Amino acid sequence: MKVRIFKSFAFIFVLLFSLNAAVSQSAPRRIQKGNEAWRSYKKAQTAFESSDYSKAIEYAEEARSIRKQDAAWQTHILENTLKKARVRRAGDELDRVIPELKELGYNDAIEIIASHTEKLGAQYFNNSYSRVFDYISIYAHYTEADYLLGKVYRLEGEFEVALRYMKEAYDYAVNLDVPMEKYDLLYDLASLSYDLGKFDDFEKYSLAIVVDNEYYSDKAFMRSLKRIIDMDSQEAVDKFFLLYRCNNDLALKALIDLSEIYRTIGESEKTLKCSSLASIIAVSKLEYIIGQRINDYEFRGIGDLLIKCQRYEDIVKWGNENNIWKLFCNFAESAASDGKVVFARNLLRTLSKCEPEEYWRRYASEIIVNGITVNQ
């Protein structure tokens, strides 16, 4: 009898040991120091900058794999904390859960929570433990690595593959270590969508940049801009450029690109909205640059500003490369298309004399002579 009982206990012990070993083997492991995902990503960056695209892909995929493993480990750690009744009884508020974790010595869990709340802020998680837990499934996506892969595949001519990686990067842009990199990603997504003929996507990604501009999203400000244009008088152009400034130039390219597309498809109202704000941003930037180079500079109108820009080769080059001189002509034309011909003609006359680039001076002159403003 004793032998039988001993054998039963021995069997149970072996079974429990085997189960524990199986669980231990399947449990996600913490990433060892020196093997972190960011190290592989840095290698991918270096390879990309050296045009070694095969290595860039290899290291970027490695970084993505390590990040997923790290997320699996974090999920495992936080799941285990909930096996303790006192943690469950503490509720969901981080302020109440964290002291219990400290009491229990759950340092890994505390470290995981801190890594996410310090980066995104406790407010992002609404002080909720379950929201931190849920976020780890988002954290599992290595946004920078996805973006880098998108850039590599684009250079390799695999545009659809590039678009897929970049879209995934944008879906998880909250993970970016440098939040402003989101706009680089959006510009690349817009450009790639345009190249692929996906104009709806081009508009979507461009607008995602533009709507973050505080003035574009300010309906009162945009109505005010339009009211000045609607005055359609000789004085309206000077008043327009004297009254308004916008020093946030992040959306400048997106506004210019959108105005070009809207103009092509005959969306005159949207064209005027984008080109008018873009013109204000461009003038604000040029005024700042000139102010840095000319002592006691005072803005006396767009014509005077553009004449001063002519003195500086780098400014003229920048304007050409970024379609700034073209923008001003397009703004005038969009005003004319909106029926504000006096405003358009007055602006074009100024541009025909003052544009820093001769091509655009001639262009403005030809519109006056041959274009829609000739009879006014």
Q: Where are the alpha helices (DSSP H) in 105-180?
A: 107-120, 129-139, 143-155, 159-171
Mean pLDDT of 128-149: 97
Give pLDDT tens digits for 100-112.
999 999 999 999 9
Band of residue 189 on the pLDDT scale cut at 50, 70, 90? very high
Band of residue 328 on the pLDDT scale cut at 50, 70, 90? very high
pLDDT value of residue 369: 79
Mean pLDDT of 256-267: 95
Residue 22 pLDDT greater than 90, yes or no: no
Residue 24 pLDDT greater than 70, yes or no: no
Least confident residue range of 4-13, 66-75, 235-244: 4-13
Residue 32 pLDDT greater than 80, yes or no: yes
Whose structure tokens read 């004085």? 235
Band of residue 25 on the pLDDT scale cut at 50, 70, 90? low
Give pLDDT tens digits for 284-319.
999 999 999 999 999 999 999 999 999 999 999 999
Mean pLDDT of 260-289: 96
Residue 166 pLDDT greater than 50, yes or no: yes
Mean pLDDT of 116-142: 95
The pTM of the whole model exceeds 0.85: yes
Band of residue 162 on the pLDDT scale cut at 50, 70, 90? very high
Band of residue 371 on the pLDDT scale cut at 50, 70, 90? low
Phi-psi region of 341 (alpha: psi -120 to 50; beta: other; left: phi over 0): alpha
Mean pLDDT of 128-140: 97
Residue 2 pLDDT greater than 50, yes or no: no
- Is residue 364 classed exposed, middle or buried when 0-12, 13-18 and 19+ CB atoms within 10 A define those classes? buried
Give pLDDT tens digits for 205-221.
999 999 999 999 999 99
pLDDT mean across residues, the chain: 91
Phi/psi for 128 (5° steps) reads: -110, 125
Residue 120 pLDDT greater than 90, yes or no: yes
Residue 184 pLDDT greater than 50, yes or no: yes
Of 57, 108, 55, whose CA–CA distance to 80 is shortest?
108
Mean pLDDT of 215-239: 95
Residues 225, 231: contact at Cβ < 8 Å?
no
Enter the tokens of residue 259: 């105005």
User: Facing residues of 65 across strands?
Assistant: none
Q: What b-and-e string marks burial along 74-89, b requiring 16 or more CB atoms within 10 Å of the CB?
A: bbbbbeebeeeeebee
What lies within 8 Å, CB to CB, of 339 at 6+ separation is 232
pLDDT value of residue 370: 75
Band of residue 257 on the pLDDT scale cut at 50, 70, 90? very high
pLDDT value of residue 108: 97
